[in-house]
């Protein structure tokens, strides 16, 4: 019986030793902040209200750090394309961690990488998408569609409502 226990212990000790080499002693879990439903809702509502006050009917979307929709709101009287357009703007701003106006400029300048990236599903090179940051960490993005030329300004107005919470 002692031989059978000893026979089992040797492989277990070898496996335990190998596990000790699998991860460095300094390995840690990643920590990050996420956008809450309340913050996403405030951004969307603030952005749509700002556009409405300018005479535009708009739709707005906030996505999380993984590009998944948290809140999507279609304003009264908006065109049928605006909700999807807003979502794609938010997705693009989040994916490339930049304003979609900057991304659209790269597209207009025929940046070869951007010309290929816009063929990916959900990516769009139109202004109106804004990354949501805590410090330098992009934790999501907001997009708006329906107010030609001021989509980004409307999103920024919505984000200003929660700026104190994004620290």
Answer yes or no: is 68 within a domain: yes
Question: % helix / strand / coil in the chain, to the nearest 5?
Answer: 50, 15, 35
Q: pLDDT tens for residues 109-124? A: 999 999 999 999 999 9
Examine residue 89 and state whether it is found in any structural domain, yes or no: yes
Is pLDDT above 90 for 72?
A: yes
Note the pLDDT of residue 99: 98
The strand pairing partners of 137, in sequence order, are 134
Which domain covers residue 135, as residue numbers?
A: 37-165
Domain membership flag for residue 96: yes
Displacement of CA 105 from its chain's centroid (Å): 20
Q: Is 11 within the bounds of a domain?
A: no
Sheet with 129-134: list strands edge to edge. 69-74, 59-64, 137-145, 129-134
Burial of 18 (0-12, 13-18, 19+ CB in 10 A): exposed
Specify the number of domains making up the chain. 1
SS3 category, 109? coil
Residue 106 sits in a domain whose CATH number is 3.30.450.150
User: Is 115 among the domain residues?
Assistant: yes
Q: What is the pLDDT of residues 137-162, one digit of tens each?
A: 999 999 999 999 999 999 999 999 99
Q: What is the pTM of this model?
A: 0.84
d(CA 46, CA 62): 12
Q: Nearest-CA neighbor of 161 among 58, 77, 12, 50?
A: 50
Confidence of residue 1 (pLDDT cuts 50, 70, 90): low
> Helices 82-96 and 100-108 sit at what angle, rounded to 10 degrees?
90
C-alpha to C-alpha distance for 160 and 88, rounded to whole angstroms: 22
> Per the domain annotation, does 26 fall within a domain?
no
Measured over the CA atoms of residue 115, residue 64, residue 39 and residue 60, the dihedral's sign is positive
Residue 12 in any domain: the answer is no
Tell me whether residue 122 is in a domain.
yes
């Amino acid at each position: 019986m002692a031989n059978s226990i000893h026979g089992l212990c040797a492989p277990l000790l070898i496996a335990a030793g190998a596990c000790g080499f699998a991860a460095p002693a300094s390995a840690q879990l990643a920590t990050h902040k996420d956008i809450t439903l309340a913050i996403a809702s405030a951004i969307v509502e603030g952005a749509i209200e700002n556009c409405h006050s300018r005479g535009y009917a708009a739709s707005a979307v906030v996505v999380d750090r993984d590009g998944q929709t948290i809140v999507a709101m279609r304003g009264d009287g908006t065109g049928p394309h605006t909700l999807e357009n807003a979502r794609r703007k938010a997705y693009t701003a989040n994916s490339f961690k930049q304003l979609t106006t900057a991304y659209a400029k790269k597209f207009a300048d025929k940046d070869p990488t951007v010309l290929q990236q816009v063929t990916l599903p959900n990516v769009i090179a139109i202004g109106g998408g804004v990354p949501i940051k805590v410090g330098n960490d992009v934790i999501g993005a907001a997009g708006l569609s329906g107010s030609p030329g001021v989509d980004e300004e409307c999103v920024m107005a919505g984000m200003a409502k929660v700026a104190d919470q994004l620290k």
